[in-house]
Amino acid sequence: MPKITEEQREARRLEILEAATRCFARQGFHRTTMEDIIRELASSPGAVYCYFRGKNDIVAAIAEQRHARESALLAELLASDNVGEGIQRVARAFFEMLKHPAEKKRRKVTIQLWAESLRDKRIRKIVERGIRQRDLLTAALRNAQRLGQLPVDVDTDAFSRVLLALVQGFILQQAWEPELDAEGYVMTAMHLVNSVFSESSTCKS
């Protein structure tokens, strides 16, 4: 039997995660069984269990995927010389990502994870890793204050929470209203964010 390459293993692993995501988005985390995922994948149990021990391992892997994508976006923001402009670029990239049907399904699973984290300690730890990414955003905002791009009287921790809430709120609303106008939402959100940064320019003048 030919040896499976690392690339083939990773491709198979991603296929399992996509199949599980479709199941979770369609019928919910609790109602989905490993048998459902195996059936969705049209595979044998052994072909799935050699990658994941159970449903929670799959959920953790889906969350890690999301964290990796969001960390890449935050890294772009942190590398920006102008934090306000960096937030705009990152926001547009993020909301563009949310237009894709596959990503909409993943975010439906994200909402289920948020709810599940209130009762399951393991899921809570997974969700908290994503929440801690906000610390990077807060650090970027503090740096913007040092550079004079953001008013010094802005509470950077509170501001980062507001920015996160704008994203989380859109994810929730899009789950309820799949045809929600993402472009209108992001333009309005950026207008609000820019009004905070523009106060710094006003103070300088």
For residue 122, the enclosing domain spans: 59-204
Contact 17, 61 (CB under 8 A): yes
Type of residue found at 23: C
With respect to residue 160, please indicate whether it lies within any of the assigned structural domains: yes
Q: What is the count of structural domains for the chain? A: 1
| Integer angstrom CA distances of residue 10 from 14, 19, 21, 40, 194 | 6, 14, 16, 18, 41
With respect to residue 31, please indicate whether it lies within any of the assigned structural domains: no
Give the model's pLDDT for residue 141. Answer: 93
| Integer angstrom CA distances of residue 187 from 102, 168, 182, 190, 198 | 23, 16, 9, 5, 16
CB-neighbour burial class of residue 7 (10 A; exposed 0-12, middle 13-18, buried 19+)? exposed
Tokens coding 82: 């102008």
With respect to residue 180, please indicate whether it lies within any of the assigned structural domains: yes
The CATH number for 106's domain is 1.10.357.10
With respect to residue 28, please indicate whether it lies within any of the assigned structural domains: no
With respect to residue 167, please indicate whether it lies within any of the assigned structural domains: yes
With respect to residue 112, please indicate whether it lies within any of the assigned structural domains: yes
Give the model's pLDDT for residue 160. Answer: 93
Which residues of the chain fall below pLDDT 50?
1, 205
With respect to residue 30, please indicate whether it lies within any of the assigned structural domains: no
Give the model's pLDDT for residue 151. Answer: 93
pTM over 0.75? The answer is: yes
With respect to residue 104, please indicate whether it lies within any of the assigned structural domains: yes
Write down how long the chain is.
205
Give the model's pLDDT for residue 204. Answer: 54
Encode pLDDT of 69-124 as tens digits: 777 777 777 777 888 888 888 888 888 888 888 888 888 888 888 888 888 888 78
